Amino acid sequence: MTWEPVIGLEIHVQLKTRTKMFCRCPVGFGARENTQTCPVCLAFPGALPVINRAAVEWTILLGLALGCDIAGHAVFSRKNYFYYDNPKGYQISQYDLPFCTNGKVLVPSDAGEREIGIVRAHLEEDAAKTVHVGGRAGRSQGADYSLVDFNRGGTPLVEIVTAPDIRAAEDAKRFLQLLRQTIVELGISDAEMEKGTLRVDANVSVRPAGSGELRTRTEIKNMNSFNYIARGIEAEVERQIAAWESGGAVQQETFDFDAASGTLSPRRAKEEADDYRYFPEPDLVPVEPSSELVERLRSELPELPAERIRRLERELDLERATVLVAGGLDRLWEETFAAGAEKVAAANVIANNLVGAGVDPGSVPAAELAKLVEARDRIPRAAFDEAIASLGDSDFSADPYLAQEAVSDTAALEPIVEAILAANPGQVTAFRNGKEGLLGFFVGQVMKETQGKANPRVVSELVRSKLA
- Kindly report, residue by residue over 372-393, the tens digit of the pLDDT: 999 988 888 888 999 999 999 9
Q: How many residues does the chain have?
A: 468
Lowest mean pLDDT among 266-280, 288-302, 319-333: 266-280
Of 331 and 380, the one with more pLDDT? 331
pLDDT mean over 88-109: 96
Read off the pLDDT of residues 153-173 as tens digits, 9 standing for 90 and up.
Answer: 999 999 999 999 999 999 999
Give the number of other Cβ atoms within 10 Å of residue 318's Cβ.
14
Model confidence band, residue 140 (pLDDT cutoffs 50, 70, 90): low
Does the pLDDT of residue 244 top 80, yes or no? yes
Does the pLDDT of residue 135 top 80, yes or no? no
The pLDDT, as a whole number, for residue 260 is: 84
pLDDT mean over 86-100: 96
**Whole-number percent of the chain with pLDDT over 70:** 96
Give the number of other Cβ atoms within 10 Å of residue 393's Cβ.
12
The pLDDT, as a whole number, for residue 356 is: 95
Model confidence band, residue 6 (pLDDT cutoffs 50, 70, 90): very high
CA angle 303–64–129, rounded 5-degree value: 105
Does the pLDDT of residue 269 top 70, yes or no? no
Read off the pLDDT of residues 172-192 as tens digits, 9 standing for 90 and up.
Answer: 999 999 999 999 999 999 999
Model confidence band, residue 272 (pLDDT cutoffs 50, 70, 90): low
Rounded distance, CA 409 to CA 413, Å?
6
The pLDDT, as a whole number, for residue 206 is: 96
Q: Are 201 and 9 in contact (CB under 8 A)?
A: yes
Q: Are 50 and 80 in contact (CB under 8 A)?
A: no
Model confidence band, residue 138 (pLDDT cutoffs 50, 70, 90): low
Lowest mean pLDDT among 200-214, 276-290, 308-322, 444-458: 444-458
**Whole-number percent of the chain with pLDDT over 90:** 71
| Nearest CA-CA partner of 160 in 211, 112, 123 | 123
Domains defined along the chain, listed by start: 3-298 (no CATH), 329-402 (no CATH), 410-467 (1.10.10.410)
Which residues have CB under 8 Å from 463's CB, separation 6+?
Answer: 417, 421, 439, 442, 443, 446
The pLDDT, as a whole number, for residue 220 is: 95
| Nearest CA-CA partner of 159 in 219, 199, 191 | 199
Rounded distance, CA 305 to CA 468, Å?
48
The pLDDT, as a whole number, for residue 137 is: 54
Rounded distance, CA 229 to CA 440, Å?
35
